[in-house]
């Protein structure tokens, strides 16, 4: 691969929200390929702290039902309904979860960083496959973790919404490199 292609992929990747998805179905093979790329992210001491729960087809209804069980005293019905709309507009939803190393070989922030790199691999893989994607770190993730009965060393770090989307090349606004780098 050329540097130009890699630069284009990295620089043109952007968040695409579920309402922008086209509704075309994503294949299970393609989702697995994307997740295979995710698990090749760097991970200190090979703890590989990530795990994913994939919701697609009928299981999206199960996710919606689970979210509807969230205590509306903590979160408004409007917030819950908006989250369910995102589920409905998406072809596939992946809950991004951390399985914290029980031996604490590395600090927790390194585990979270490894998962973030896995998500970046997902995001770049989505971009090159014309899949719109959006990582939501909604506060609902903590309640989801409780409802899913995640183990004490596990937690949900958010939801990754995916749907077919024809990417249009457009630049993103970024600060100047010179404002962010100091050569010593």
Average pLDDT along the chain, 184 residues, taken 10 residues at a time: 90 92 96 98 95 97 92 85 96 97 91 97 96 92 89 94 86 87 94
The pTM score is 0.93
Q: What is the pLDDT of residue 77?
A: 87
Q: What is the pLDDT of residue 86?
A: 97
Could you tell me which residues are beta bridge partners of residue 163? 132
CA distance 74 to 134: 24
Q: What is the pLDDT of residue 98?
A: 96
Q: What is the pLDDT of residue 1?
A: 77
Q: What is the pLDDT of residue 101?
A: 84
Q: What is the pLDDT of residue 124?
A: 96
Q: What is the pLDDT of residue 182?
A: 93
State the sign of the Cα–Cα–Cα–Cα dihedral 16, 18, 20, 25: positive
159 neighbors 138 (Cβ within 8 angstroms)? yes
CA distance 74 to 130: 36
Domains and CATH numbers, the chain: 15-167 (3.40.109.10)
Q: What is the pLDDT of residue 72?
A: 77
Q: What is the pLDDT of residue 165?
A: 93
């Amino acid at each position: 691969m050329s540097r130009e292609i890699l630069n284009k992929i990295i620089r043109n990747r952007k968040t695409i929200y579920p309402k922008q998805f086209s509704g075309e179905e994503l294949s299970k093979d393609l989702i697995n390929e994307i997740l295979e790329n995710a698990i090749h992210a760097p991970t200190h001491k090979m703890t590989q702290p990530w795990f994913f729960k994939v919701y697609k087809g009928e299981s999206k209804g199960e996710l919606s039902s689970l979210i509807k069980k969230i205590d509306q005293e903590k979160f408004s019905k409007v917030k819950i309904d908006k989250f369910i709309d995102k589920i409905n507009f998406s072809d596939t939803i992946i809950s991004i979860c951390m399985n914290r190393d029980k031996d604490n070989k590395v600090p927790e922030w390194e585990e979270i960083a490894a998962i973030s790199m896995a998500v970046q691999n997902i995001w770049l893989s989505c971009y090159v496959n014309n899949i719109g994607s959006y990582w939501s770190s909604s506060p609902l993730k903590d309640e989801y973790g409780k409802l899913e009965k995640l183990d004490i060393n596990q937690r949900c770090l958010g939801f990754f919404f995916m749907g077919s989307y024809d990417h249009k090349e457009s630049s993103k606004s970024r600060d100047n490199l010179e404002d962010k780098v100091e050569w010593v």
